[in-house]
Chains A and B, each alone.
Chain A
Amino acid sequence: MDASPQKITLSNTPRILAARDTKIVARDVNVYYGEKHAIKHLSIDIPDRAVSAFIGPSGCGKSTFLRSINRMNDTIDGCRVTGDILVDGKNIYDRDLDVVQLRARVGMVFQKPNPFPKSIFENVAYGPRIHGIAKSKADLEEIVVGSLKKASLFEEVKDRLDHSGTSLSGGQQQRLCIARAIAVNPEIILMDEPCSALDPIASARIEELIDEIRQNYCIIIVTHSMQQAARVSQLTAFFHLGDLVEFGDTDEMFTTPKDKRTQDYITGRFG
């Protein structure tokens, strides 16, 4: 197995980091699936109140790293994580850490919209209820309506909150999932290819939504669309074969990348 510390290119970097607080710090993180070394000696600082995009070809480790941030990898047999991942300075792999609490702080949105087979209202109310966030029925209603509004879905569904979440269109379902994630008041939102199952108009609405809420959250988005990464993020990280190759300001990554591998990937010259 590769034991050498990784060398990553920091594009003079990053202006965004200098201007904001750091939310997530990873140091020498390795992820193994059995014998497979999926993430190699990764170190990165991710800022708060900004969107960071992870890009790279399939199998490069970007989703694997994303899933280590809310310990989703714990559920996979044979998966092992070493190194430190700190959120607000606290190591999330510490033994005394409550994983359920962590996942309330770190929301996640998946590639395929996955609303519960319940009403629109219940989809959003579920999290606040189990985490005991809502004090009363009125409180809960306020949280649900507020979350649906933040996710730019309320106007479209306000007359049918009792309808099933699965009756919505794909784009609406994805916004419902974002509302559900927001409802528990997370600090970090992880998005794993949130638009890949959506048409361009629904994708644009999600991008607009990300832009609107980024002031309040630390958002990380994994995407296969380079244009989407360029549009929605302030920072971009390029992964290749388990290495973090380059991490820098999005404006620079897509105009003057420093590493040849990044350049080849974003210009469509790979392999």
Chain B
Amino acid sequence: MSDHTVKSYDDDLASLKQMLAEMGGLAEEQLAKAIDAITKRDTKLADRVIADDDRIDALEQQVEEKAILTIAKRQPMAQDLRQIIVAIRISADLERIGDLAKNTAKRTHAISEQMPRKLVSGLTRMGNLAQEQLKNILDAYAQNDAEKAIMVWRSDEDIDALYNSIFRELLTYMMEDPRMIGPCTHLLFGAKNMERIGDHTTNIAENIYFLVHGETIVEERPKKDSTSTTNYNLTT
């Protein structure tokens, strides 16, 4: 894409993209630390994740202000307009990803030292997968790569599939030992958070596609999350 005749317009768009890159980097870091904290039951690290969430929130606000100012000043058209609208949308998704990482880190406090380590391993695996998806989608955004975005979009079903198996696994533990119901419920929420992060990642993928092609993806996204219809009858 060639440059604008007015150079400062390019600077406006570049600085939006730069803010998004910074937000993405922070979200990735927060997610990695949250997974680490809950896996190792490191409450100090968890507290740091909780405190650092403010930085992502502040960046989201900056993106919004810059976007509104750029629209007002430049009256953007076509792909320039899409770039700004997409920046607003992606920053909202990244902000939510930050919130979900924070919420997962918070639960570190609720899981006791005595809880068997194997219980948390499923959540760790899911977290790693969500992290990888997030990294790939941020790369796709940085490179304006719609193909790569589609690949990430399609592979969200891997997270959904893992979520289903963790859901069943944790239900089984709870049935075996009622003392595990508390910690397992927290882990379930943690797993749900990772699944939601996967969904926000697919939102970002859809926005990258829109940014590049000017139209929305028409095909139906494969979904494998069946937990909302899974039931264990405890009386039998």
Residues of A within 8 A of B (CB): 226-227, 230, 254-257, 263-264, 266-271
Knowing A254-B78, A257-B78 are in contact, say whether A264-B6 is a contact too (CB < 8 A).
Answer: no
Knowing A257-B78, A263-B78 are in contact, say whether A269-B214 is a contact too (CB < 8 A).
Answer: no
- A230, A267, A270: most-surrounded residue (chain B CB, <10 A): A267
Specify which chain A residues have a CB less than 8 angstroms from the CB of B18 in the assembled complex.
Answer: none
The secondary-structure label for the interface of chain B is: loop
Q: For the complex, what is the distance from the CA of A263 to the CA of B78, rounded to whole Å?
A: 7
Q: Is the CB of A268 within 8 A of B215?
A: no
14 contacts between A and B (CB under 8 A): A254-B77, A255-B81, A255-B214, A256-B215, A263-B78, A264-B2, A266-B78, A267-B4, A267-B76, A267-B78, A268-B9, A269-B5, A270-B5, A271-B5
- Nearest CB on B from A163, distance (A): 38
Identify 5 new A-B residue pairs, CB closer than 8 A, beyond the known A230-B77, A254-B78, A255-B214.
Answer: A267-B4, A268-B5, A268-B77, A269-B3, A269-B4
Judged by a CB distance under 8 angstroms, whether B1 is at the interface is: yes
Q: For the complex, what is the distance from the CA of A16 to the CA of B4, rounded to whole Å?
A: 31
5 closest Cβ pairs, A-B complex: A256-B214, A266-B77, A269-B2, A267-B80, A268-B4
Specify which chain B residues have a CB less than 8 angstroms from the CB of A257 in the assembled complex.
Answer: 78
Specify which chain A residues have a CB less than 8 angstroms from the CB of B76 in the assembled complex.
Answer: 267
- Nearest CB on A from B209, distance (A): 13
Q: For the complex, what is the distance from the CA of A59 to the CA of B12, rounded to whole Å?
A: 30
Q: For the complex, what is the distance from the CA of A254 to the CA of B3, rounded to whole Å?
A: 18
Specify which chain A residues have a CB less than 8 angstroms from the CB of B5 in the assembled complex.
Answer: 268-271
Residues of B within 8 A of A (CB): 1-6, 9, 74-81, 214-215
- Nearest CB on A from B176, distance (A): 57
Specify which chain A residues have a CB less than 8 angstroms from the CB of B80 in the assembled complex.
Answer: 267
Q: For the complex, what is the distance from the CA of A269 to the CA of B5, rounded to whole Å?
A: 5
Name the residue of chain B whose CB is nearest to the CB of A263. Answer: B78
- A227, A254, A256, A270: most-surrounded residue (chain B CB, <10 A): A256
Specify which chain B residues have a CB less than 8 angstroms from the CB of A271 in the assembled complex.
Answer: 5
Knowing A256-B214, A256-B215 are in contact, say whether A267-B6 is a contact too (CB < 8 A).
Answer: no
Q: For the complex, what is the distance from the CA of A263 to the CA of B2, rounded to whole Å?
A: 11
Q: Is the CB of A267 within 8 A of B215?
A: no
Name the residue of chain A whose CB is nearest to the CB of B82. Answer: A255
Q: For the complex, what is the distance from the CA of A154 to the CA of B76, rounded to whole Å?
A: 37
- Nearest CB on A from B80, distance (A): 5
Specify which chain A residues have a CB less than 8 angstroms from the CB of B77 in the assembled complex.
Answer: 226, 230, 254-255, 266-268
Q: For the complex, what is the distance from the CA of A263 to the CA of B83, rounded to whole Å?
A: 14
Q: For the complex, what is the distance from the CA of A254 to the CA of B9, rounded to whole Å?
A: 18
Specify which chain A residues have a CB less than 8 angstroms from the CB of B75 in the assembled complex.
Answer: 226-227
Q: For the complex, what is the distance from the CA of A36 to the CA of B75, rounded to whole Å?
A: 35
Specify which chain A residues have a CB less than 8 angstroms from the CB of B79 in the assembled complex.
Answer: 263, 267
Name the residue of chain B whose CB is nearest to the CB of A252. Answer: B214
Q: For the complex, what is the distance from the CA of A227 to the CA of B4, rounded to whole Å?
A: 17
Specify which chain A residues have a CB less than 8 angstroms from the CB of B81 in the assembled complex.
Answer: 255
- Nearest CB on A from B12, distance (A): 12
Specify which chain B residues have a CB less than 8 angstroms from the CB of A254 in the assembled complex.
Answer: 77-78
- Nearest CB on B from A270, distance (A): 7
Name the residue of chain A whose CB is nearest to the CB of B3. Answer: A269
Specify which chain B residues have a CB less than 8 angstroms from the CB of A268 in the assembled complex.
Answer: 4-6, 9, 74, 77
Q: For the complex, what is the distance from the CA of A263 to the CA of B76, rounded to whole Å?
A: 12
Name the residue of chain B whose CB is nearest to the CB of A226. Answer: B77
- A254, A256, A269, A271: most-surrounded residue (chain B CB, <10 A): A269
Specify which chain A residues have a CB less than 8 angstroms from the CB of B74 in the assembled complex.
Answer: 268
